[in-house]
A and B are shown apart, each in its own frame.
Chain A
Amino acid sequence: MAERIIEYREALNEALLEEMERDLAVFIMGEDVGQYGGVLKISKGIYERFGEKRAVDTPISENGFTAIGVGAALAGLRPVVELMYIDFACLAMDPIVNQAAKARYMFGGKTSVPIVFRTQGGGGRGNAAQHSQSLEAWYVHVPGLIVIQPSTPRDAKGLLKSAIRDDNPVIFIEHKLLYNTKGAVPEGEWTIPIGKADVKRVGNHITVVATSRMVLLALSAAEKLAEEGIEVEVVDPRTLKPLDIETIATSVKKTHRLLVVNEGARTGGFAAEVVTRAYEEVFDYLDAPIVRLTSEDVPLPYSGALEMAAIPSEEKIIQAVRGFFS
């Protein structure tokens, strides 16, 4: 299959266009996703191509339009609702957690909620505490939701297409610092299965499980550590829930060491979940205590210097890995 180098943003846009072309039930909805083409330009060209009925601009009312989306999904459509920042998704917790995640189960499987909530999170752009959070752990905690965090253009396209086709509600979390990143992406019809982790780099000495933008930091840290003779294996879960623990366990059984890097705050974060699952699966294979590297337990500072100090960096990953060997 032909591949081109395109941006993460373009890969998402391509996935939306292809899925809307393929299935009439798919439509997008959110703040400025229509005529304006999306604040982050993910829905560029969709309004022009499919019109206002399938590219629905909404008022600034997350609770309202998210609930409308859930209703549309229950009625048989396949909405892709954009929540501009994951921070704003706090306003839409009820339709997501109490309705979308529960309906299929509470109606005994007689209905389903095929909806994708597209949103983006993460810090590093000086957007301050209310626009920089990594709240993936909240959704991972809710039974009934699928949670995806793609780290590359390739994964972004392949997983968004799978998310739209899945009959369960999916929280699809992008990262604001990844939109401009580039990578090879197959053209046309092509998907990545949900619930399958990806070994982004092969190494023998330590496994680093990283999510979202942390995958890129882990890969660049791995390059530098290789110069010191430390071969890092980088595993990207891609789907946070359901978590592909087999791939992680297989890697740790080989390397005997595990560092988990996640941008969310430390306490009660997604990293803690990976650490626990790993202890359950591979305790007897560990040659060192598992370490997690996360953001500090603080509302992210507006100051660029302080913000960088609060979130994981390439240098912090290098230090953490070195700590396993000295």
Chain B
Amino acid sequence: MATEVIMPKLGLTMTEGKILAWYKTEGETVQAGEPLLNVETDKVALDVEAPASGTLLKILYPAGDAAIPLETVIAYIGDKGETLPTLQSKASQTLTARSPESEYTVATAGATSSDAPIKISPLAKKLALEHQIDWETLKGSGPQGRIVEADILQTIEQKKNSSPLTSPSTSPETQAGQPIPYRVIGLNQTRRVSAQRMTESYQTIPHFYLRKEIVLARLVELRNYLLPEFEKKLGLHLTYTDFFLRALAMTLPKHPLMNASWKDGEIHSYTTINTGIAIATQRGLVVGVIHSIEKLPLEEIVRKRALLAEKARQAKLEWNDISNATFTLTNLGSFGVDDFDPIINPPQAAILACGAIAERPIADAGKITLQPTMRLCLAVDHRVADGADAAAFMSDLCELLVSLQGMRNP
């Protein structure tokens, strides 16, 4: 009896996965536990191990862009020459993989046209891939509505015309009643999930914001002092983010409502601090996580933060690197942004945004002086905490960043 290989659930928020690569081809021998394929989930690419030993009898879904629902059978492992269980069509596999609540509507709808593959010629598909065009949104002009070369060429042309960088002077002025020329930018899995979760967060979580500007003259001094030491002794580049993380690690334990989740009418306050760090990558925003940060000295935080950033750049984050954050830090300081209002990353209850450290005029004992300051903005889920709770947290945090008491070691 052949063993089914299914699209595994690799994380809480994962609903579907993309197969990036198969490490084995049909007919090859596999050992249980060895990497069989590489799957892209919401935010990471992960290796999936073979569930059994034997021969990889059949790959049902080749590597590609298709988003495959969880628990869909994607391959069979068994004895060489073994006959496979009756292969279900892709449509029926999709049905079995749906969650119970969606099954009803799907079952009554039957095989909807959206289940059918998009008709696109191989040439058109190749061109679309080369030019990063998302053909799923195109309407084909070929026989039976097939997307053909001409459709992709037209889209490329539109893309050119609508890109201000390539042809600013030739782009025609839009006339009233005429559609504005546009090009479609395809979504990768990271962006798709991010879009979905941010919308959900902004629409369902009652956000409120607290802003504060603090003088960081001493922090700038401390960082400049420690920078060469870290560089020399540890080979690590010390960033302001590392200090902010350390400050969060020290402050959050005293403010349980800031390190919490709204769950079905209850507040779950976490007993450990897992800080997420927003990292911009070519594939989109990912949030790397440092777990139990309250126990870590500054050196360890720097090391972990640097490793996460490197893994994110190389798209090598593992599931553990991005899961179970309880609070998120987002820093656009290096981009020169003064301040900004962040959106909470559910199911967390709060997120802290840091702007650039820059010289700004400060009222100082009746005089105006120029000092290095930073503007912070804290977004909080009002179901979990009130303004006063958040203000108390902000106050403690800012005091620490100014005083730097005990910043180096726990």
Distance between A318 CB and nearest chain B CB, rounded to angstroms: 16
The residue in chain A whose Cβ has the minimal distance to the Cβ of B119 is A289
Q: Which of A283, A323, A324, A326 contacts B122 (CB 8 A)?
A: A283
Contact A256 B123 (CB under 8 A): yes
Binary contact track B245-288/A, C-beta < 8 Å → 1, others 0: 00000000000000000000000000000000000000000000
Pick the residue among A256, A284, A285, A323 that contacts B143 (CB under 8 A).
A323
Give chain A nearest CB distance to B12 CB in angstroms.
39
Report if B236 contacts A (CB, 8 A).
no
In the bound assembly, the distance between CA atoms of A25 and B224 in angstroms comes to 98
Digit string of A222-240 for contact with B (CB within 8 Å is 1, else 0)?
Answer: 0000000000000000000
Task: Encode contact with A along B113-133: 1 for CB under 8 Å, 0 otherwise.
Answer: 000000001111010000000
A286 to B143, CA, bound (A): 14
Min CB distance B73 to A, Å, is 26
Residue interface mask A262-289, B partner, CB < 8 A = 1: 0000000000000000000001111111
Inter-chain contact A288/B146, CB cutoff 8 Å:
yes
Chain B residues with CB under 8 Å of A284's CB are: 122-123, 126
A326 & B143 in contact (Cβ 8 Å cutoff): yes
Report chain B residues within 8 Å CB of A289: 121
Chain A stretch 291-326: residues in CB contact (< 8 A) with chain B:
323-326
The residue on A at minimum CB distance from B142 is: A288
Q: Give A324's nearest chain B residue, CB to CB.
A: B143
Task: Report Cα–Cα, A215/B143, bound state, in Å.
Answer: 26
* A230: min CB distance to chain B, Å: 14
Cβ distance B117 to chain A, nearest Cβ, rounded Å: 13
Contact between B143 and A287, CB atoms less than 8 A apart: no
Are A287 and B126 neighbours in the complex by a CB distance under 8 Å?
no
The interface residues of chain A lying within 8 Å CB-to-CB of B149 are: 256, 287
- Give the distance to chain A from B120, nearest Cβ to Cβ, in Å: 10
Complex alpha-carbon distance, A323 and B149, angstroms: 16
Against A, the Cβ 8 Å flags (1 = close, 0 = not) of B141-173 are: 011001011000000000000000000000000
Q: How far is the CB of B152 from chain A (nearest CB, A)?
A: 10
Interface residues of B, CB < 8 Å — how many?
Answer: 10
- Contact partners of A325 in chain B: CB under 8 A: 143
B129, closest chain A residue (CB) = A284
Decide: B126 and A288 in contact? CB cutoff 8 A.
no
- Chain A minimum-CB-distance residue to B124: A287
Identify the closest chain A residue to B150 (Cβ). Answer: A287
Contacts of B122 in A (CB 8 A): 283-287
* Smallest CB separation, A283 vs chain B (Å): 5
CB closest chain-B residue, reference A325: B143
State the Cβ distance, A58 to closest chain B Cβ, in Å. Answer: 51
**Residue with the greatest number of chain A CB neighbours at <10 A, chosen from B123, B142, B148, B149:** B123
- A256 contact set on B, CB distance < 8 A: 121, 123, 149
Which residues of B lie under 8 Å from residue A324 when comparing CB positions? 143
Contacts of A285 in B (CB 8 A): 122-123
What is the CB-to-nearest-CB distance from A249 to chain B, in angstroms, rounded to a whole number? Answer: 14
The interface residues of chain B lying within 8 Å CB-to-CB of A326 are: 143
- Which residues of chain A have C-beta atoms less than 8 A from B124's C-beta? 287
Chain B residues with Cβ under 8 A from A287's Cβ? 121-124, 142, 148-149
When chains A and B are docked, how far (Å) is the Cα of A288 from the Cα of B126?
13
CB distance from B57 to the nearest CB of A (A): 24
Q: State the CA gap A323–B121 with chains docked (Å).
A: 15
State the Cβ distance, A84 to closest chain B Cβ, in Å.
Answer: 44
Chain A residues lying within 8 Å of B123, measured Cβ to Cβ, are 256, 284-287
Chain B residues in 8 Å Cβ range of A286: 121-123
A289 to B142, CA, bound (A): 11
- Complex CA–CA separation, A289 to B143 (angstroms): 10
B121 contact set on A, CB distance < 8 A: 256, 286-289
Q: How far is the CB of A227 from chain B (nearest CB, A)?
A: 21
Residues of B within 8 A of A288 (CB): 121, 142-143, 146, 148
A256 CA to B146 CA, complexed, in Å: 14
Cα distance A323–B146 when bound, in Å?
13
Complex Cα spacing A288 to B121, Å: 6
Q: Please give me the residue from chain B that is nearest to A285 by CB atom.
A: B123
- A256, B126: Cα distance in complex, Å: 13
Residues of chain A contacted by B126 (CB below 8 angstroms): 284
Q: CB-CB < 8 A to A323: which residues of B?
A: 143
Complex CA distance for A288 and B124, rounded to whole angstroms? 9
Which A residues are CB-close (under 8 A) to B148?
287-288
- Chain A residues with Cβ under 8 A from B143's Cβ? 288, 323-326
Distance in angstroms between the alpha carbons of A86 and B148 in the assembled complex: 42
Cα distance, A287 to B149, chains bound together (Å): 6
20 contacts between A and B (CB under 8 A): A256-B121, A256-B149, A283-B122, A284-B122, A284-B126, A285-B122, A286-B121, A286-B123, A287-B121, A287-B122, A287-B123, A287-B142, A287-B148, A287-B149, A288-B121, A288-B142, A288-B143, A288-B146, A324-B143, A326-B143
Q: A residues within 8 Å of B by Cβ? A: 256, 283-289, 323-326
Having A287-B121, A288-B146, A289-B121, one finds 19 other A-B pairs with CB under 8 Å, namely A256-B121, A256-B123, A256-B149, A283-B122, A284-B122, A284-B123, A285-B122, A285-B123, A286-B121, A286-B122, A286-B123, A287-B124, A287-B142, A287-B149, A288-B121, A288-B142, A288-B143, A288-B148, A323-B143
User: Which 10 residue pairs of A and B lie closest in terms of their CB atoms, listed nearest first?
Assistant: A287-B121, A287-B123, A287-B149, A284-B126, A286-B122, A287-B148, A283-B122, A284-B122, A256-B123, A285-B123
